[in-house]
Amino acid sequence: MSRLIVISNRVQAPTGSHSGAQGGLAVALAAALREYRGIWFGWSGEQTDEFTGQISLQRNDGVTTATVDLEEQDIEEYYNGYANRTLWPLFHYRIDLAEYERGFAGGYQRVNERFAETVLPLIEPDDVVWIQDYHMIPLAAELRKRDCRNRIGFFLHIPWPPRRLLSTLPEAEELVRTLFAYDLIGFHTEEWLQSFTDYATQELGATLDEAGRLLRLGDREVQIMACPIGIDADEFIQAARSPTARLTFRQMRDSAVGRAMIVGVDRLDYSKGLEERFLGYERFLLEHPEERKEVFLLQIAPPSRGTVESYQKIRADLEGLAGRINGAYADLDWVPIRYVNQGYARDVLAGVYRAAKIGLVTPLRDGMNLVAKEYVAAQDPEDPGVLILSRFAGAAAQMPSALLVNPYSAEDMSDAIMQALRMRREERIARWRPMMDMIEREDVLWWRQQFTHALLGDRAVELLQDSDQ
């Protein structure tokens, strides 16, 4: 019987609970694997002295996971190197931070070859393969070299850069050619899809059909689609009503002592625009001295990729900036920025979001940004807060009723904060309602179904019928 094989850099085994430890992507993939009786394959996150390809098989909450350990050199070149110091900054338009080293590219290719060799024996002739994200762009090509004829799909969870930016990557042409080994490629937005097709047609000579959904290059053709990921809306709404969320809500309201809370929740990453956000908030404090003691910014920023130098720098810079702003504006009974370097469970965050008058989601570039959707989903329908959202986040295309801002403009951000603070309840509800309707309609399960049905085609119905037997 046909199955779905999911492959990603890291594998997150289902916990069987809604404690908030799992992200929306993990929830969606686990649901798909239960539905189609598949396997989730990827790196264990652990290091081994010598790569052997030995697979660790586990079954948790109805999902089978298969993981392998990587050598230290693999981790440094493939993960810390090419994935996080080359592709991540480049795809987020930060070519000033991208490091183009042959050793990184070689390690990236080597690990994808190792993944292909290791996972291939797990793939049966009728299986369908779904590969996730930028860590594994060439994986389908490596599987094809090993005579894998299965239907294979790829979903990119980060932006696809414009053609001229991508052309700065020495291996750009070769990397894009490997994507034609897939049968289906998914992007979060039409913008990312169009950037990909622009490179494929202008640089490689690929042709696009009239509908704009089928690319041909030589004897290969690949279907392309834009399908924005969502959150597990029902689960998050329940989390916002949980005892933990209610307790957190009361604690935050008590600690605010009548002040309006502005909240930002972001992984500590240069793509999130945190320094620009602090500067925009500082401009607000400067331009509106009468509002200074009436608001505060809570910025939650758990560290990530601490071994990468650019991430160490942003943490130091942000700590310095927060200290400078607090030193310049704080008073005996008020601090303008509460800056927290740790993560919290989603039910706790739901309570924080609900207590916040403003959600500040201002990345310089994001594939989607689910924090924006979580903030909206956590709100009180009768008295919702205001979402201030970067127009450069993928979510902006779905959420035009948010206050859309240019995160590079401190003045724009300052004006939006003031507008949000003064916004009447009727307008807040009118802006919130269409966003909430979209979040419930196009949730993470909708996203997963859209992609898997496109990948499976007519076989989707057959597989669903098999899974019900």
Report how far residue 303's alpha carbon sits from residue 224's, in angstroms, rounded to the nearest whole number.
34
Catalytic hit among 74, 183, 366, 443:
366
> Contact 197/215 with Cβ under 8 angstroms?
yes
Beta strands in 364-413 (DSSP E): 386-390, 403-405
Which residues are CB-contacts of 211 (< 8 A; sequence separation ≥ 6)? none
Active site residue 466: no
With tokens 């916002």, the residue in question is 240
Beta-sheet pairing, 207-208 with 214-217: antiparallel
Q: How much is the CA Rg of the chain, to the nearest whole Å?
A: 23
Element (H, E) at 417: helix 410-422
Active site residue 135: no
Angle at alpha carbon of residue 468, lines to 464 and 469, rounded to 5°? 120
> Contact 1/36 with Cβ under 8 angstroms?
no
Report how far residue 173's alpha carbon sits from residue 155's, in angstroms, rounded to the nearest whole number.
19
Q: What is the dihedral of CA 235, 240, 245, 248, to 10 degrees?
A: 140
| Orientation of helix 425-441 relative to helix 370-377, angle to 10° | 120
Angle at alpha carbon of residue 347, lines to 67 and 20, rounded to 5°? 10
Catalytic hit among 18, 157, 288, 453:
157
Catalytic residues: 157, 366
